[in-house]
A = this chain, B = another copy of it.
Amino acid sequence: MTGNSINVGLLGFGTVGSGTYDVLTRNAEEIARKVGVPLVVRKVAVRDKTRARAVPIDPALITDNPDEIIDDPKIDIVCELIGGVEPARKYVLAALENGKHVVTANKEMIAKAGHDLMLFAEAHDLDFLFEGSVCGGIPIIQPLKQALAGNRIHEIVGIVNGTTNYILTKMARDGSAFSDVLAEAQALGYAEPDPTNDVMGYDAQFKIAILASIAFNSRVDISDVNVEGIIRLSPRDFEMASVLGYVIKLIGIGRETAQGLRVRVHPALLPRSHALANVNDVYNAVYVRGDAVGDVMFYGRGAGADPTGSAVVGDLIEICRNMRSGGAGRLGCTCFHQKTMLPMRSLRARYYVRVVAFDRPKVLASVANVFGDFDVSIETVEQRTHPGGEAEIVLLTHETVEQNFLSALEILGRLPVIVGVENWIRIEE
């Protein structure tokens, strides 16, 4: 604290940076009441000083040299809102080395390089908070670390990527193809010009790695998270899922069993009664199951300038209160276990599979036989004959082991009666 204010420097003034600045500015008086002293943005570092800004800001606050923030002895807290691993990580480390508390909304940096930064902050009694890195403004990291800390968490399942949820919602409602909806989402600004991180599931992978690490008190590396995106979903899958009473969502899921921990991102069929089945458009939600609390769910907007700004400002206020009460660094890394990470092949799940076969006698029997050979039993079958004389068979299996299911699928694809295995999707209850 410098005199009668707590001073903040912002690294980055894009969507999240300008949102954070806007929230801090417009609610300055209320925030000062909550903290006890004013929270003042002293400097904002940008890449290009000449660029137009999304929210009005005094040009005297703008610099293109991040060191002017990192090395300013009058700045108490640095907000890293640049994104990406480098140079963000380097700046954060330098700020911590200079004794500054840090807030970030950078999921990729936290997922890939957060652990060392957390340990450094902890060793130096500094706060390093990152609520905004997962699900924008929805409070989820703080509840997991604090209000739910008395629980053993068994499961955490979330719709944690707004872009893909928007796309899947549109595909389900309109029966449109993935590529058409993606183009529309890009035009509306809901998807990036390069949508790879979203549609391939990488963004969700970063987020579920962070959430699972906190929920299970065990560091989950992103390489431990199996990831599949949404690009192979077709309008037909949505149609058949709906006929069978399911919706299709991209979920991040971490579940602990006696054998260990399995964390994954993939599209899944959810029954219409599932808590996440009605989370639509750009909304996010995270469902947590704990031994004491039972089921809890957190729902809201997972991205955007103001919602993510809300999370960053919440973290800033948290740090200010710690500084004022003398409790800085009170919440460090909580990954005190190193739990066994389980591979996908041993997953037990139910599966949806859609195959196209030549319309011949006994084709269903051959399909069922192949599954039977691998101990996969069939729960539901929908068969329809296409005008071209081909039969489409949609099966839901009973619970089975993924390796068995995939082995059966491989054999199935080679049967002469099968035109092709069109798609398969895991089912979550």
Contact = CB atoms under 8 A, between A and B. Distances in A.
A137 interface: yes
B137 A292 contact: yes
A313 B150 contact: yes
A193 to B, nearest CB: 25
Nearest to A318: B146
Nearest to A137: B293
Nearest to A33: B336
Interface in A253-285: 275, 278
Interface of A, secondary structure class, is mixed
Interface string A298-310: 1111001011011
A138 B296 contact: yes
A40 to B, nearest CB: 15
Interface in A10-42: 19, 23-24, 26-27, 30-31, 33-34
A310 B290 contact: yes
Contacts of A325: 125, 322, 326-330
A192 to B, nearest CB: 21
Interface residues of A, number: 64
Contact of A313 (B31, B149, B307, B326): B149
A297 interface: yes
A299 B296 contact: yes
A1 to B, nearest CB: 15
Nearest to A297: B299
Contacts of A311: 147, 293
B317 A293 contact: no
Contacts of A316: 150
Given A293-B307, A325-B329, A139 B147 contact: yes
Given A30-B217, A325-B329, A330-B322, A143 B152 contact: no
Contacts of A331: 321
Interface of A: 19, 23-24, 26-27, 30-31, 33-34, 125, 131, 136-139, 142-143, 146-152, 217, 275, 278, 290-301, 304, 306-307, 309-318, 321-322, 324-331, 334, 336
